Amino acid sequence: MKDNNILKLKDVSISYVPGKNAVNKVCAEIKENSITAIMGPSGCGKSTLLRAINRMHELYPDINISGEIILRDQNILKMNPIKVRRMAGMVFQRPNPFPTMSIYNNVLAGYKLNGIKLPKAEKDQIVEECLRSVGLWDEVKESLNKKGTFLSGGQQQRLCIARALALKPDILLMDEPTSALDPIATNRIEELLLEIKKHLTIVIVTHNMSQAARISDYSMFMYLGELVEYDKTELMFTNPSDKRTEQYLNGQFG
């Protein structure tokens, strides 16, 4: 059976405190080469769900996850987290380039931190390719040896996207990647996402409904840990099937 669902969530529940689910029995299938937005009011569990997909919760031993998360036919909850994280790249809310590394080394950080040695020519190629794909190459090609933190916030965030892309992940998880950026930088990143989704599946958590409307193909609406509605973005924004989604989209809570 061949469908184009790259990621399947089956009854995923996540709790920070035993008996109290922050994410409750979420089931969803995510299509390859699409952008899926997860929306919802603060504390609805959207970041929690996203972070489960690359096993970020492993850092905090109190967190308990049940259900299945299937990425390319493998249940990632049973895999080695290191392998999972190479398949699922992540971009965070605030740009976080490694402050001790140059722009060049930031792009290659995934290789360096994994102890993978590459020939110089291949490194140069990866750096140029990734920086080009985030539209940063022309801006920084003269200053590749400067520290990553020397860039502006929007540039730093694009550098972080390049860093994630360098490992050629199957899926890119983004946790409110533009919430710390100004509208112009946000706009650039949105354009960039529409470009890179041709080769990659993106799941993006966003607070910003109009952002979800602008860039996503599919949208999830979560409320109090539950997946209330999951549909094509146009359908959800024009004709939501659940009353709570409608209220949220109208700005009645959130």
Partner 1 sequence: MRVFNSSSVSWRQLKDRAFFIAVCTLSLVMAIPLVAIIGEVIQKGYKQINLQFFTEVAPSTLDAMLAREAGGVIPGGIVNGIIGTLLMVGAAALIAIPVGIMGGVYLAEKPKAIFSIIVKFLTDLIQGTPSIIVGIIAYTVIVVPLGSYSAIAGSIALSIMMLPLIVRSTEETLKMLPTTLKEAGLALGASYTNVVLKVLLPSAFSGLFTGILLATSRVLGETAPLMMTALGSSTISWNLENPASAVPLLIWEFYNDPNLIDLIWSSSLFLLLLILIFNFIAKYIVERSSK
CB-wise, 41 or 81, nearer to partner 1? 81
CB of 98 to partner 1, least distance (A): 6
CB-wise, 169 or 225, nearer to partner 1? 169
CB of 186 to partner 1, least distance (A): 19
CB of 165 to partner 1, least distance (A): 11
CB-wise, 178 or 245, nearer to partner 1? 178
DSSP string, 110-142: HHHHTT----HHHHHHHHHHHHHHTT-HHHHGG
| Amino acid symbol at 167 | L
Binding site for partner 1 (CB under 8 A): 54, 56, 58-59, 82-86, 89-90, 92-94, 96, 98-100, 109-110, 112-115, 160, 163-164, 167
CB-wise, 81 or 135, nearer to partner 1? 81
Q: Note whether 206 and 38 are within 8 A (CB).
A: yes
Sign of the four-CA dihedral 225, 242, 203, 192: negative
CB of 208 to partner 1, least distance (A): 20
CB-wise, 165 or 236, nearer to partner 1? 165
CB of 20 to partner 1, least distance (A): 21
Q: What is the rounded end-to-end Cα distance, in angstroms, of the chain?
A: 40
Rounded Cα gap, residues 128 and 106, in angstroms = 12
Given 3-state DSSP classes, what are the helix, strand and coil percentages for the chain, each rounded to the nearest 5? 40, 25, 30
CB of 29 to partner 1, least distance (A): 23
- Which whole-number Å values give the CA distances from 227 to 28, 89, 99, 124, 214, in the listed order? 9, 23, 37, 43, 21
CB-wise, 50 or 228, nearer to partner 1? 50
